[in-house]
Amino acid sequence: MKYLVLIIGLFFLSFSAQAQNTVKGSVVDENNQLIPGVSVLEKNTSNGVQTDFDGNFSIKVDENAILVFSYLGFKSQEIIVGDQKTIKVKLTQDVAQLDEIVVIGYGAVGRDKIATSIATVTGEEINKVVASNPAEALQGRAAGVQVLSNGGAPGAAPRIVIRGITSPNGTQPLIVLDGVMLPASTSINFINPQDIQTMQILKDAAASAIYGSRASNGVVLITTKRGKEGKPTISLDATFGMQNIQKFKSAGAQEYINVMNARRINDGNTPDPNLAGFTGEGTDWWNEVVEDLAPVTNVNLRASGGSENIKYSASVGVFDQRSNLQIGFFQKINTRFNVDFKISDKLQLKQDVSVRLQNSENTPNILFNTLRVDPVTPVFVNQSERIGRNEFSIYGFSRNLVPNPVGQLARTFNEDNFNEFFTNTQLNYKINSDLTFSSQLGLTFSGWRRKNFNPEFELGPTQLRDINSVNDRIDQNFDYVFNNTLTFEKTIKDKHYVNFLAGALVDSQSTNFIRGEREGIPSNTNVDLRQLNGAEGEAQFVTGNQGTDNILSGVFRGIYSFDNKYIVNGSVRVDQSSRFPKDSRTGVFSSASFSWDVDSEDFFESEYINNLRFKVGFGEVGNQDISRDGQFFSVGSGDFVFGQERVIANFLGRFGNPNLRWETVRDQNFGVEMGFLNNTITFSAEYYKRTSKDLLFNVESPNFTGIPGLVAQNVGSFDSSGFDLQLGYNNQWGDFSLGLNLTASTNESRASELAPGNEQILGGRSAVLGNRFLKITELGRTVGLFYGFKTDGIFQNQTELNSHTSEDGTIIQPNAQPGDLRYVDTDGNGTINDDDLQVIGNPFADIIGGLTVNMEYKKFDLSMQLYGTAGNDVFNFNRQYINSGTQNLNVVAGALDRVWSPTNTGAEFPRLSEVDLNGNYQRPSDLFVEDGSYLRLRNLQIGYNFDFKGIKKFRLYVSGQNLLTFTKYTGFDPEVASGNNVINNFGLDFSRNPVARTFLLGLNLTL
Amino acid sequence: MKKSIIFLIIYTTMFTVSCDTDKFLDQPLQGRQQLDDFFSTSSSAETFVNGIYQLVNGTNWNQVNFQRQINEMASDDNWAGNTRQPRPDITGIAQYNVFPGSTYFNLFWENHYIGITRANISLDRIPEVDIEEEKKQQFIAEAKFLRAFFYFDLVRNFGGVPIVTTYNEILEPSINDKVRSSVPEVYTFIEKDLLEAIDDLPLKSEQNSSESGRVTKGAAQSLLAKVYLFEEKWGLAQTMAFNVMQSGEYSLEPDFADIYSVDNVDGVESIFEIQYINNPAFPNIGGQFSITNGSRGDRGWGWASPTSDLENAFLSENDVIRLRSTIIKHGEPVFGDDTVTSFNGLPEENKSGRTNRKYYVPTDKRPEPYQRGQIPLHYIHLRLADVILIHAEAAYFNNDEPAAKSSLKLIRDRVQLPSNNALTGDALRDAIWKERRLELALEQHRLYDIRRQKINGVPRIALILGPEGSFVKYNTEVSTDPFETTNLLEPQNSGTLFDPNIHLLWPIPPEEIQLSRGKIEQNPEY
């Protein structure tokens, strides 16, 4: 058949030879990079060529010929040849087409064949943000994908939450790298953003059910860049920047002293004599601890290319980030080498190798102490007092016993080395034109060493270490996946497309560690002696353990499409997991989805709408993310003394749950996709509803049970629902092009069922707020709400106090004085007690949105990204002390103006008091809850493309991150108020390192 | 095509056969024994019972010991002391500005119940362990003694508490519905455990040296005598105390100073003590009190400083021997430590400049490094003098004044104080109570004693503390103590806020109320 066309073509070619011209030219993309392999076809003929390795072509055409240039992922372009002899063509990317091939797990199909909810973010978009990790770049780009900052310390990995909280335990999505499922704890931080071709987020269970037991929090599929046929391309991308964090305005010494004395005087006590006569403003700890600028450097080098039979892509990335404290850095080297071999027409081999070396020093979480330490303490003790002290003991011992943060930094010696070797081998064998067998083996070896040294020092009775010590921990991990699948793909009679997949999968993750600690390194300062065998002290401590998690699975999937109009997808996965007791270890997860492409229907005719598609999906996924030992009752061991000798003491160490079962999430997704004016405007909207049942959670039992620690339990069901909206606009006017992408999403997760004994899930206990739980999850309400006492302003005078009574006239707060908080006696029993606890805030936003703007004008380009949340509350824990000076802690500058006094009756915060008989600062209340809505300019980038001969691309840019934040929130940063456990910690702000403001200079160079 | 399919079949078969799926999916617990397997060895009964003992004083300073010190601070014997670090959960409670959410209440409550559950597991499983019957009965009796000990501590601090009697109870979901039992119910349970334990425990003289520190029959009898005293079962208390006194197993230390001497572990007077040793390899088998209680000028934390009111009580009896072994004072030499001629009580950071001598380790006996969890000074829960004074008090209320007086005399003779044989009635009662204060001062008895001792139905604590309390009046109106009246960072009127309608019990930790969904109810007025 092919030959016949060729022969006929040749025939026509020779027949019309006289009237022909030769046209030469080249094809480039929007970045002026030459594109090889572009099809150049004379319209309405079979006369065609392809551009060569350099993107050049030469074709003989008729006089009135029209040339059609087309290439996958770009909009086709037609050019009337006329009398032109050379033609330079610039192809622009076709957003609709770019998505054409979508990775869907154990395979890839055309976008038009899927009926599920999958969001795609390209590597190019990711790298616009110049983020140190790809997760940051996802923020605001895909609707329904929320990225929660874990603070601004170097190397801190954000958390990704897809469509809200369906599971109280571990909300990180599963990450699948080129088909390899990574361990549950894997942060998306590990990958070099420059290696990413695309990231696909499987949002609904219809899409993710194929990943079964590990998919309940969504799945992120990462596809790395691979080589293309053509001449080698070498590119260099580099950025250099400076980071800056905002300093808090703490009180100086005089204001601090005034507050301390006011607290005593208000209680009828004398001023503190130890503070009398202090002159000056004392120590500005923020200046001592925080450095204004910290450098961040990122350099990437990539080479790719290949022939028909061997294609390669190799890259090296170096990243180096310093913290804004004297201590703390994060360095990373990523290398990746992806090769594709075409062994025969039937056999294809892909071999990827990647190595990661990471070296870091943990940034001490020291801002909390910097906030609290008193300003009357000097950084160092006087020269005269230093005699007989070692170099770690010359720091001032603070009056309020908060550790001297400068001294803490000086004593911080930690080293963290992580090395990982990853290899991914995939063999594809085409049994015949329809049937492909695929076998994939992914192996990951990693080693992690953490070492620290604690020097001997003495500042005072509670801040000392009599003997120095060295700690060394080594972890080794070995993970593998072994996937074998058979895929049948066929289009029958042009209209029926079928794609069936069956597979058998093995997933195994093992870890082991050994840790040792010894005391008595002979020198406090000789760095070379800080090894375990350098220690001479008697105390020795060694521990170690190992663990393995295994999953065996079978997967089946079918895709059927009729005439590209009606698409049906269905899948079933059967998993057996070692995390569960034998009787409950098997889980079956299935899904079905359907999509209707209305614009392909004959009856559909519209001038404006070029794409209209409806889809609906149902699916079920699971979660096994609970402690490996969750099912076991285990015996711990310790020590006791009889007869003046140490004896072994055994006890119940962990209370197991032999009835643990899978957590499953049922999910429904309804969506519509639209494109207007040839996709100038795109719109998509989805509504989803997810019900998770048998939720796995580590539950705290009442203490009288004597159960040690937490117990893994299946606690009940959560319902989560919301909308994901996306609106895009892309247009071009001459030299000016504009792209806008607006995303918005809503989500609410409610507890729809809670098992007996778990009617309330409590979390976030705070010792200073009376060991009360700050978070509650109750039946029928949003999960993880703030919990505490309601207040109703401040008592202005005795009359108000006396009239705050219950119905029978009991004075509700007999210990209160004017200036104290008025608590609401919600149960009306005449006293404020545990029965009055109420929900006092909601940490989850009503709406989360992002806006991305891309503009180009001639050689300039500008991109901008905004991100924001609205309607969420933050529990600002720092209000406990920064306005009260409790426990002699330092206060915020201007605190005296913020607190109530007879002359400042309009104040927001209650009166100062050391005794605090009313408990204003000893229990959780809405005094600590603030509006945490914010809008942040995440990224602004301006670039310019230079033309240099022989260089494909030379672009310089400047970029700023987190330049502007609009918020009413009074703490450090509303964005850091997340935490490790989304139910228990989310929205609680304990002053972690805030997100830094970054200024960058960057270069993109392609040869 | 055919070849490919054959290859596929072989490939898949190999893969399936090479993998034993059950073995692959059974991932056993690593590095830990499982409870159901644990009791199959004969040593298990002993080591598991050892685990219950860990909770008597806790394995860390804050688990139970520090609340015991806070209790001392909340009496007239001690100030909070440390004025450098005013804390609502320590200083506040010492002043009766009670912070129910204190971590120390919380930990005290929680750890006692962890101990009770360890005892319950022992009682559930030890009967199946293959060891000789006599040993089995002994370990069961030890577990019962310890369970009673924990409940006694709980009932004295919190009042009626939930009673968990078996391990199986906590395996049932209905455990979450448990409510507080009444005070008499808790005492009934304690008595039962102790009576059963007494029968199966060995005498101290029957123990070999490696067993010293395990509970004995005498310990169970002494604790039961004390339980009866707290229940005001005077006759039973007198008899039970007398059993111990007559057993011939214990005698008073001839020298009072030897009771708390580092060199006198498990002395002749000691009935139940926690032994502490220094072994850097095991960081939590040494004592804590020397550090938490020690002066801030002497590498301590400076909590719980003796009051001048207590010192005056010794002076009023001319009780030199016990005073010098009870209180160390700033600027004075330390009795029994020749190297210290002028003690640094750091009065600018300490309310009274005084320190507890009983937990003090003389400089040349200190281990290096000198740190928490490493101090080899034993801690005594029950000693003969306590039992003799229980006997005296019970006999007095049992209308057996001669017996009361003879016991009182035993105690006074040792410290060379004269006895007034003419004492009778209230005067005798007051003399017994005062003797109890002086003899057992700073040994964590005082708060419980003044809560339970009543004059005309009024607890003594209500006469000592509160706005009109004798201790408060002394400090605010009489005292001229150079340290206490100078350092006002801890106010002189500490104790004014005491309210007898509230403060005879501590609050139930709010955490427990929340975790039990309100089924565990708060004590009145908290």
What are the extents of the domains in chain B? Answer: 1-200+499-526, 210-275+383-455, 289-377
Distance, in Å, from the CA atom of A205 to the CA atom of A591, rounded to the nearest integer, reads 7
| Crossing angle between the packed helical segments B65-73 and B103-125, to the nearest 10 degrees | 130
Question: Distance from A362 to chain B by nearest Cα, in Å?
Answer: 27
> What letter does residue A380 receive in the DSSP assignment?
B
- Residues in B closer than 8 angstroms to A436, CB to CB, are none
The residues, any chain, with a CB within 8 Å of residue A14's CB and separated by 6 or more, are none
Structure confidence by residue, pLDDT tens digits, A295-326: 999 999 999 999 989 999 999 999 999 999 88
The whole-number pLDDT of residue A169 equals: 60
- Residues in A closer than 8 angstroms to B369, CB to CB, are 466-467
Sign (positive/negative) of CA torsion A126, A131, A132, A135?
A: negative
| Of A149-158, A562-571, A603-612, B199-208, the least confident | A149-158
Q: A602 or A443: which carries more pLDDT confidence?
A: A443
Question: Distance from A545 to chain B by nearest Cα, in Å?
Answer: 6
Of B24, B84, B279, the CB nearest to A646: B279
Q: Which two tokens stand for residue A911?
A: 């009166």
Judged on CB neighbours under 10 Å (0-12, 13-18, 19+), B235 is middle
Distance, in Å, from the CA atom of A422 to the CA atom of A399, rounded to the nearest integer, reads 52
ipTM above 0.85, yes or no: yes
Work out the average pLDDT over A373-391: 93
**Which of residues 686 through 725 in chain A touch B, CB cutoff 8 A?**
700-708
Question: Distance from B320 to chain A by nearest Cα, in Å?
Answer: 31
The whole-number pLDDT of residue A12 equals: 41
Specify the CATH number for B210-275+383-455; select among 3.30.420.40, 1.10.287.130, 1.25.40.390, 1.10.1740.10.
1.25.40.390
Closest CA to A537 of A645, A459, A454, A450: A454
The whole-number pLDDT of residue A100 equals: 66
Reduce the DSSP state of residue B134 to 3 states and report it: helix
Residue A94 has pLDDT above 70, yes or no: no
Closest CA to A286 of A994, A897, A1000: A994
Q: Please state the φ and ψ torsions of residue A500, each to the nearest 5 degrees.
A: -115, 140
Q: Predicted confidence band at A166 (pLDDT cuts at 50, 70, 90)?
A: low
The whole-number pLDDT of residue B2 equals: 63
Judged on CB neighbours under 10 Å (0-12, 13-18, 19+), A733 is exposed
Q: How many CB atoms are located within 10 Å of the residue A11 CB? A: 10
Fold agreement (B1-200+499-526, B210-275+383-455):
yes
Of A585, A643, A702, the CB nearest to B512: A702
Q: How far is CA B33 from CA A443, A469, A648, in A?
A: 32, 31, 14
Q: Which two tokens stand for residue A689?
A: 């509803």
Distance, in Å, from the CA atom of A166 to the CA atom of A718, rounded to the nearest integer, reads 6
Please, are residues A544 and A573 in contact by the beta-carbon 8 Å criterion? no
Q: Where are the alpha helices (DSSP H) in B159-233?
A: 167-171, 183-200, 217-230
Residue A439 has pLDDT above 90, yes or no: yes
Question: Distance from A642 to chain B by nearest Cα, in Å?
Answer: 5
β partners of residue A439:
A427, A484
**Which of residues 913 through 952 in chain A touch B, CB cutoff 8 A?**
914-917, 919, 922-923
The whole-number pLDDT of residue B1 equals: 56
Percent helix, strand, coil in chain B (nearest 5)?
50, 5, 45
Structure confidence by residue, pLDDT tens digits, A217-230: 889 999 999 998 88
Contact B32 A634 (CB under 8 A): yes
The whole-number pLDDT of residue A13 equals: 41
Q: Return the percentage of chain A with pLDDT > 90, whole number.
A: 60
Does B12 touch chain A if contact means CB atoms closer than 8 Å?
yes
Distance, in Å, from the CA atom of A181 to the CA atom of A186, rounded to the nearest integer, reads 10
- Residues in B closer than 8 angstroms to A400, CB to CB, are 85
Contact A834 B47 (CB under 8 A): no
The whole-number pLDDT of residue A89 equals: 84
Closest chain A residue to B110, measured at CA: A703
β partners of residue B306:
B78
Contact A649 B371 (CB under 8 A): no
Structure confidence by residue, pLDDT tens digits, B423-472: 999 999 999 999 999 999 999 999 999 999 999 999 999 999 999 999 99
Q: Tell me, what amino acid is at A341?
A: F
Work out the average pLDDT over A326-334: 92
| Of A567-576, A579-588, B213-222, the least confident | A579-588
- Intra-chain end-to-end CA distance of chain B, in Å: 83
| Of A447-451, A690-694, B73-77, the least confident | A690-694
Contact B53 A640 (CB under 8 A): yes
Residue A18 has pLDDT above 60, yes or no: no
Contact B113 A704 (CB under 8 A): yes
β partners of residue A68:
A41, A78
The whole-number pLDDT of residue B235 equals: 98
Residue A328 has pLDDT above 80, yes or no: yes
Residue A164 has pLDDT above 90, yes or no: no
Rounded to 5°, the CA angle B202-B204-B209 comes to: 105
Q: Tell me, what amino acid is at A921?
A: Y
Distance, in Å, from the CA atom of A416 to the CA atom of A551, rounded to the nearest integer, reads 30
Q: Predicted confidence band at B10 (pLDDT cuts at 50, 70, 90)?
A: low
Q: How far is CA A228 from CA A315, A354, A676, A880, in A?
A: 14, 19, 33, 59
Of B25, B115, B208, the CB nearest to A585: B25
Residue A10 has pLDDT above 60, yes or no: no
- Residues in B closer than 8 angstroms to A915, CB to CB, are 92, 95, 97
**Which of residues 83 through 122 in chain B touch A, CB cutoff 8 A?**
84-88, 92, 95, 97, 99-103, 106, 109-110, 113-118, 120-121
Does A462 touch chain B if contact means CB atoms closer than 8 Å?
yes
- Residues in B closer than 8 angstroms to A833, CB to CB, are 522, 526
Whether a cis peptide bond, with omega within 30° of 0, leads into B369 is yes
Judged on CB neighbours under 10 Å (0-12, 13-18, 19+), B3 is exposed
Residue B357 has pLDDT above 90, yes or no: yes
Please, are residues A689 and A722 in contact by the beta-carbon 8 Å criterion? no
The whole-number pLDDT of residue B315 equals: 98
Closest chain B residue to A398, measured at CA: B84
Of A486, A582, A707, the CB nearest to B117: A707
Does B19 touch chain A if contact means CB atoms closer than 8 Å?
yes
The whole-number pLDDT of residue A79 equals: 82
- As assigned by CATH, the class of the B1-200+499-526 domain is mainly alpha
Please, are residues B374 and B280 in contact by the beta-carbon 8 Å criterion? yes
Q: Please state the φ and ψ torsions of residue A231, each to the nearest 5 degrees.
A: -65, 155
Q: Which residue has the tokens 């209180």?
A: B327
Structure confidence by residue, pLDDT tens digits, A892-940: 999 999 999 999 999 999 999 998 999 999 999 999 999 999 999 988 9
| pTM of the model as a whole | 0.89
The whole-number pLDDT of residue B6 equals: 65
Distance, in Å, from the CA atom of A727 to the CA atom of A746, rounded to the nearest integer, reads 15
- Residues in B closer than 8 angstroms to A633, CB to CB, are 34-36
The whole-number pLDDT of residue A652 equals: 96
Q: A246 or A76: which carries more pLDDT confidence?
A: A246
Core vs surface per residue A259-284: b (16+ CB within 10 A) or e = bbbbbbebeebebbebbeeeeeebbe
- Residues in B closer than 8 angstroms to A538, CB to CB, are 280-281
Contact A757 B176 (CB under 8 A): yes
Core vs surface per residue A107-127: b (16+ CB within 10 A) or e = bebebbbbbbbbbbbbbebbb
Work out the average pLDDT over A853-880: 93
- Residues in B closer than 8 angstroms to A923, CB to CB, are 101
- Residues in B closer than 8 angstroms to A578, CB to CB, are 24-27
Mean pLDDT score of chain A, rounded to an integer?
Answer: 89
Of A633, A651, A771, the CB nearest to B509: A771
Contact B44 A650 (CB under 8 A): yes
Question: Distance from A639 to chain B by nearest Cα, in Å?
Answer: 7
